[in-house]
């Protein structure tokens, strides 16, 4: 079986109007990353961090998937065993595009997690204010998003998937490689594609094929290569 691992980052959702992190108008240019997205910041000012994730959660309410989300969703529905969809994104646009079995490596904005019983439940785009865990009624609850200096349990799935698929094709879409070393992952695979709008000198040359363009314009080209690879093993 010809497996394909598709890893996406903030650039996948950029054309849907969700800000990326490290570009010129990125989220980390407006907010101090360690104040609103780190274990230390959460300990220091819990309310500030909960408000930050409330703002990001309500921001994605009206966002819609773009052609790149639909491309990934169609591939996953057509080849459920061969395609593995892992994303660093915490938005729900791949699900809105109909993609099943998305692995969210950094958690999910529309879910909350109970710090008392570890229950995770979906609140869509609502505020966390005034909510209690539906299981144990505790108000010791938080966003279900992994912050810096916190464990990311889903990384185990990433490592296992790399092990299972490295004889196949690795596709990275819309990630700077700053947190998850997409270039290093590419070097584990026989075949690899990178699609970023902007060049990433630190990792571009780790990929066999590179598309420096918007995800929506690269999407049909990537789909064609992936379908051919799955059906014939030809890259
Ligand atoms: N199409 C394709 N790629 C794009 C587009 C677009 N329309 N717009 C931006 N990009 C690319 C940029 O060139 C950049 O390489 O997307 C990448 C975005 O990089 P980051 O902002 O660093 O986002 P990401 O790699 O997902 O960050 C990883 O960092 O802050 C943490 O947890 C957060 O999951 C996030 C992680
Ligand atoms: Zn609970």
- Pairwise CA distance, residues 182 & 163, whole Å: 15
Q: What is the pLDDT of residue 100?
A: 98
Distances (CA, A) of 6 to 16, 86, 192: 19, 6, 10
Identify the structural domains of the chain with CATH numbers, from first to last.
4-17+65-106+152-232 (3.40.50.1220), 19-59+107-145 (3.30.1600.10)
- Looking at residues 162-185, what average pLDDT do you find? 97
- Three-state secondary structure call for residue 145: strand
> Exposed/middle/buried for 26, CB within 10 Å: 0-12, 13-18, 19+?
middle
- Pairwise CA distance, residues 15 & 28, whole Å: 18
Q: What is the pLDDT of residue 23?
A: 85
Q: What is the pLDDT of residue 11?
A: 98
- Looking at residues 24-52, what average pLDDT do you find? 94
pLDDT band at 24 (very low <50, low <70, confident <90, very high): confident
Q: Residues of the chain with pLDDT > 90: what percent?
A: 97
91-145 per-position pLDDT tens digit: 999 999 999 999 999 999 999 999 999 999 999 999 999 999 999 999 999 999 9
Assess whether pLDDT exceeds 90 at residue 167: yes
Crossing angle, helix 67-78 and helix 215-232, to 10 degrees? Answer: 10
Question: For residue 202, what are the β-bridge partners?
Answer: none
Distance of CA 26 to the CA centre of its chain: 16
> Which of 7, 152, 158, 176 has the most ligand 1 atoms within 8 A of CB, as the residue to mutate?
176
Q: What is the pLDDT of residue 127?
A: 98
Helices (H), 63-154: 67-78, 93-96
* Average pLDDT over the chain, rounded to an integer: 97
Q: Is the pTM of this model over 0.95?
A: yes
Please identify every residue annotated as catalytic: 106
Residue 215 in tokens: 């995800």
Atom of ligand 1 at shortest range from CA of 216: 1
Q: What is the pLDDT of residue 114?
A: 98
Rg of the chain taking only CA atoms, in angstroms: 18
What would the DSSP string read from start to end of 111-124? Answer: EEEETTT--EEE-T
Q: Is 66 in the pocket of ligand 1 (CB under 6 A)?
A: no
Q: What is the pLDDT of residue 155?
A: 98
> Which of 6, 7, 10, 199 has the most ligand 1 atoms within 8 A of CB, as the residue to mutate?
10
- Looking at residues 12-16, what average pLDDT do you find? 98
């Amino acid at each position: 079986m010809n497996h394909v691992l598709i890893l996406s980052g903030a650039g996948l959702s950029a054309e849907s109007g969700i800000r990326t992190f490290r570009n010129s108008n990125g989220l980390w240019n407006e907010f101090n990353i360690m104040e609103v997205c780190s274990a230390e910041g959460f300990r220091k000012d819990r309310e500030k961090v909960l408000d930050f994730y409330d703002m990001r959660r309500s921001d994605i309410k009206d966002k819609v998937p773009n052609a790149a989300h639909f491309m990934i969703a169609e591939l996953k529905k057509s080849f459920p065993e061969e395609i593995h969809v892992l994303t660093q994104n915490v938005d729900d646009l791949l699900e809105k595009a109909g993609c099943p079995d998305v692995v969210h490596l950094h958690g999910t904005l529309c879910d909350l997690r109970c710090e008392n019983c570890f229950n995770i439940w979906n609140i869509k785009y609502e505020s966390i204010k005034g909510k209690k865990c539906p299981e144990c009624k505790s108000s010791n609850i938080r966003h279900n998003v992994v912050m810096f200096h916190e464990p990311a349990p889903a990384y185990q799935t990433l490592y296992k998937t790399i092990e299972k698929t490295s004889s196949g094709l690795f596709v990275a879409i819309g990630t700077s490689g700053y947190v998850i070393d997409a270039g290093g992952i590419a070097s584990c695979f026989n075949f690899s594609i990178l699609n970023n709008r902007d060049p990433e000198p630190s990792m571009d040359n780790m990929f066999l094929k590179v598309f420096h363009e918007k995800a929506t314009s690269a999407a049909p080209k990537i789909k064609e290569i992936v379908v051919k690879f799955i059906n014939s093993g030809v890259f």
